[in-house]
Amino acid sequence: MLKLCDNPSRSGDFPRSLLYLVVLALVGWGAVTAVAENASLDIKVDQVGYLLNAPKVVLVTAAGRTFEVRRAADNATVFRETLGPALSDADTGDQVRTADFSSLREAGTYYLFVPDVGRSWTFSIRPDVFSRAYYLAMRAFYGQRCGVAVDLGPEFPGFSHAACHLKGEFHSSSGKQGPRDNVGGWHDAGDYGRYVVNSGISTGTLLWAWELFGDKVKNIKLNIPESGNGTPDILNEARWNLEWMLKMQDDDGGAWQKQTSERFPGFIMPEDDKLSSEVIGTGQAPYKSTCATADLAALAAIAARVYKPFDAKFAARNLEAARKAWLWTEKYPNVTFRNPPGVSTGEYGDDSCKDERLWAAAELWRTTGEQGYNEFFLKNYADFRPSLDSPSPEGWREVAPMGLWTYALADRKGDAVATADIRKSTAAAARAIVERTRKNPYHVSMVAKDYVWGSNGVAANYGMALLVANVLAPDPSFRETALDNLHYLLGRNAFSLSWVTQVGEHPFRHPHHRPSGADKNAEPWPGMLSGGPNADRQDAVLRALPADLPPAKIYADDQGSYASNEICINWQAALVFLLAGNLP
């Protein structure tokens, strides 16, 4: 089965008792700090907060009439208003009222008080309110580094692991044999595999965050080993994975699909995983796969322009890799991948690599301006325009929007008709998202069918689409609606839960993430986005929840729920993009 973060069931999973879940739901246990122990889960607030000059809305799912915003320091009431009317929300089954205090424009730390209901978790109003969350979300990639010892330092004592997966070899399906010690890259998700397809969209999203919001992120130091080397840290971190991806390219230009063990290890630390790390291919000539190769071409083409001012040699190496990869996909336009016999790790399989090739051609044209890439794009782009109107929830699988957007975002002059067409379609799709988000009682862009594996990534990707639209066809409502989706992820949701570990007073605490499960720390590794509610219930924890739950409530903060509570680099990258776009 294909999934957003494509990981079939894991060994070493164990559902916790449902009683625990009930206790969690009833008393809201799990706050990292004791500041607001008595907060009501019926008041749903972005636990990070709100931008000074943006709309500020909190949601209330209990019967109340008025609300107050109180200053946390002295409990003084600074704003008082009536709640909006109760609206029925089909996706959660909740009756939802809005508490709108957009006109409050005084920076500070506050909480909401609703008579007869209680108080909310605390939140801030500041122009740089998302800076800390951005820092932690980017540092989560550092925590996923493979092949090197990782230590989050004095800020998070005890969050460390020794160098892992230092030995690799060619699997029989790769067409080669012997040792292949490609060290590096990021662990993909809660497991320790590394996958070129998912690496492509994830690393590409980070490089795009740099290209679109470089001014906002360039001076944010991530306290990683490369900090201070003259290159912005977001690019330093992305390069860690990119270097590994480049090593997955064979001499003929093709890229192998993945490097993982044959099966998932148990819930152990990465350095204790002694299963052999295998470069895995398709099992028959040409052994490499087209989607992986085209994703590598797209990513390396972006890297060729992004890294040029900081490391021209590295940029040139990327351009050469991208060209070679592109040529390989011309020779083999649709070699798809399925797990070879005996391999049960994530597949990231895809029936069609046409959209990956479209993305690669567009990025190569944007970087080089060469006609061959332009012609391929112009011949094919119209087939993919509908993907802007109804994006696939599987962002790693359907990368056509990246191809279309990058063509229209390019500084160089492309075909005027195609550019105008993409711009118009992107803006129209964004307006439709804005309209339905305004009607949604939870102020989220999600529709019922979006509550799939990795639904939080779907929410983050709506945010990304809106921010891209705001660049192509600026409209304040695009940015405001992007913020709505960010608010949803940070606590303004049915569970009143921040879906980013160690962010906010009431974050989720039991990710399906091996280091968090195996280490001695009470809290999970910080800055990681949960997969989120999933109506498809592919794990036993979700199947044990009541049968009549509405889709947006099918979620469990339980390590065993890999289908709703795993972390994954692709939706993590979309979160970073959304946060980066809202930095000052």
Q: How far apart are CA 151 and CA 161, in angstroms?
A: 7
Query: What is the strand order of the sheet 168-170 is part of?
Result: 168-170, 277-280, 258-260, 194-195
Nearer to Zn ion, 137 or 146 (CB): 146
Q: How far apart are CA 405 and CA 174, in angstroms?
A: 34
Q: How far is CA 557 from CA 56, 163, 490, 542, in A?
A: 27, 29, 15, 10
State in angstroms the smallest separation of the CB of 274 from Zn ion: 11
How many other CB atoms are found less than 10 A from the CB of residue 74? 6
Number of amino acids touching Zn ion (CB under 5 A): 4
Catalytic residues: 191, 512, 557, 566
State in angstroms the smallest separation of the CB of 198 from Zn ion: 15
Q: Which 190-229 positions form the footprint of Zn ion (CB under 5 A)?
A: none
Nearer to Zn ion, 241 or 293 (CB): 241
State in angstroms the smallest separation of the CB of 270 from Zn ion: 4
What residue spans of 39-130 are helical by DSSP H? none
**Residue 72: CA count within 13 A, CB half-sphere:** 14
State in angstroms the smallest separation of the CB of 453 from Zn ion: 23
* Window 65-84: contact mask with Zn ion (x via CB under 5 A): --------------------
- Site for Zn ion contains 270 (CB under 5 A): yes
How many other CB atoms are found less than 10 A from the CB of residue 88? 10
Contact criterion met (CB below 8 Å) for 319 and 306: no
Nearer to Zn ion, 168 or 395 (CB): 168
- Burial bucket for residue 484 (CB in 10 Å: 0-12, 13-18, 19+): buried
State in angstroms the smallest separation of the CB of 397 from Zn ion: 25
Q: Which two tokens stand for residue 390?
A: 């109804």
Only segment of 127-135, 264-272, 312-320, 341-349 that touches Zn ion (CB under 5 A): 264-272
Nearer to Zn ion, 146 or 460 (CB): 146
**Residue 99: CA count within 13 A, CB half-sphere:** 29
How many other CB atoms are found less than 10 A from the CB of residue 162? 13
Q: How far apart are CA 241 and CA 200, in angstroms?
A: 9
Residue with CB nearest Zn ion?
146
Only segment of 68-76, 266-274, 371-379, 525-533 that touches Zn ion (CB under 5 A): 266-274
Nearer to Zn ion, 270 or 403 (CB): 270
State in angstroms the smallest separation of the CB of 187 from Zn ion: 6
Q: Which 137-196 positions form the footprint of Zn ion (CB under 5 A)?
A: 146, 164-165
How many other CB atoms are found less than 10 A from the CB of residue 108? 15
Nearer to Zn ion, 182 or 329 (CB): 182
Positions touching Zn ion (CB under 5 A) are 146, 164-165, 270
